[in-house]
Amino acid sequence: MVHTMLLEWSSFVQKVREFFTARGYLEVHTPTLLPYPNIDLNVEPVEVKVIECGKELRRWLQTSPEFSMKKLLSSHRRDIFQVAKVFRNGECGPLHRVEFTMLEWYKVGADYGYLIREIGELLLFLGIAQSYKVTRLEHAFEEHAGVILSEEEEVFKNNLLAYGYQFDDRESWEELFFRIYIQVERKLGLQEPEFITHFPRRLSSYAKVREGYAERFELYIKGVEVANGWTEETDAEEVRRRMEEYRAGRDLPLDEELLKAYQNFPPCAGCSIGLDRLFMVRMGLKSLEELYF
């Protein structure tokens, strides 16, 4: 079984590479050990101390190749992809690992709608699914949690009370949202892969926001989140503002090199897929622990 799993994994990763190279993407390789951490509101980077030329330096393992790849985009402005090992502190559970394998790619001149269609073609190419559906986030909340989602905290809390939800009034909008969304996620993509779109501004990450919604999506297959993508925000000052917001109260330095790269950043869309999870779903497994690697 272990031998078969390794062969299947090797073939799976090779097919992923074939898909992107056939479409003109350039495979790139960026550093795993970084002088600046990825700054993400819901992800904790792994900090390490290294000795270089007799000096002790503070470094971080990448939580995603995102920032490094964006620096390449700024200077080369072409479609790129990468299969990389990434690390996230505090991860635990059947769908989480501190270390896992990520596929990340960027398409110049595209938006998140293009990526949804491209992922649909990738799933077909990998033999995972022949079709998919697209659902707005607020519709998923109403269908699976019976709650009308609002970005206004007071309105959202009143809606929760009206539908019989109990909570501490000191809980923030984000805390309440994710507490309910965990339950919603388990019901997504059960019949076919399901893209969730139209995230509120509060959950925009580094996506462009238009008409009050972030141009981003999450992909679910059999209740498992496997992808997260968006139309990239290209305004350097807006990106700086969000980075400052996401690192508030955390001892994480800003990557000024990245912010400088945004001065020449092309319009594009980017996506990441947890390859371990996608492979797990393809093999019909219930836990990453069953992968044997």
Mind listing the pLDDT tens digit for each residue in 180-207?
A: 999 999 999 999 999 999 999 999 999 9
Q: What is the pLDDT of residue 292?
A: 72
Instruction: For the chain, give the mean pLDDT.
Output: 95
Q: Say if residue 130's pLDDT is above 70.
A: yes
Q: Which two tokens stand for residue 38?
A: 């990825």
Across the range 11-20, mean pLDDT stands at 98
- Give the C-alpha separation, 265 to 193, whole Å: 32
Which amino acid appears at position 232 of this protein?
Answer: E
Q: What is the pLDDT of residue 291?
A: 87
Q: What CATH number does domain 2-33+62-132+192-291 carry, 3.40.630.90, 3.50.50.60, 2.40.50.140, 3.30.930.10?
A: 3.30.930.10
Please state, for a pLDDT cut of 70, what percent of the chain lies above it. Answer: 99
* Residue 101 main-chain phi, psi, to 5 deg: -105, 130
Q: What is the pLDDT of residue 41?
A: 87
Q: What is the pLDDT of residue 2?
A: 62
- Give the C-alpha separation, 188 to 46, whole Å: 30
Q: What is the pLDDT of residue 66?
A: 97
Q: Report DSSP letters for 229-241, one per residue.
A: EEEBP--HHHHHH
Mind listing the pLDDT tens digit for each residue in 206-263?
A: 999 999 999 999 999 999 999 999 999 999 999 999 999 999 999 999 999 999 999 9
Q: Say if residue 1's pLDDT is above 60.
A: no
Q: What is the pLDDT of residue 142?
A: 95
Q: Say if residue 72's pLDDT is above 60.
A: yes
Buried b (16+ CB within 10 A) or exposed e, 248-265: eeeebeebeebeebbeeb
| Among candidate residues 183, 28, 5, the one with its CA nearest the CA of residue 106 | 28
Q: Say if residue 281's pLDDT is above 90.
A: yes
Q: What is the pLDDT of residue 25?
A: 98
Across the range 76-96, mean pLDDT stands at 95
Torsion sign, CA atoms 92, 48, 232, 104:
negative
Angle at 237 between CA 205 and CA 72, to 5 degrees: 70
Q: Which two tokens stand for residue 204?
A: 């925009």
Q: What is the pLDDT of residue 3?
A: 79
Q: List C-alpha distances in Å: 233 to 103, 207, 252.
A: 20, 5, 21
Q: List C-alpha distances in Å: 17 to 31, 56, 67, 160.
A: 19, 37, 21, 45
Angle at 276 between CA 42 and CA 285, to 5 degrees: 115
- Give the C-alpha separation, 271 to 24, whole Å: 16
Q: Say if residue 156's pLDDT is above 90.
A: yes
pLDDT category, 293, cuts 50, 70, 90? Answer: low
Q: Which two tokens stand for residue 27?
A: 């495979």
Determine the length of the chain. 293
DSSP state of 40: B
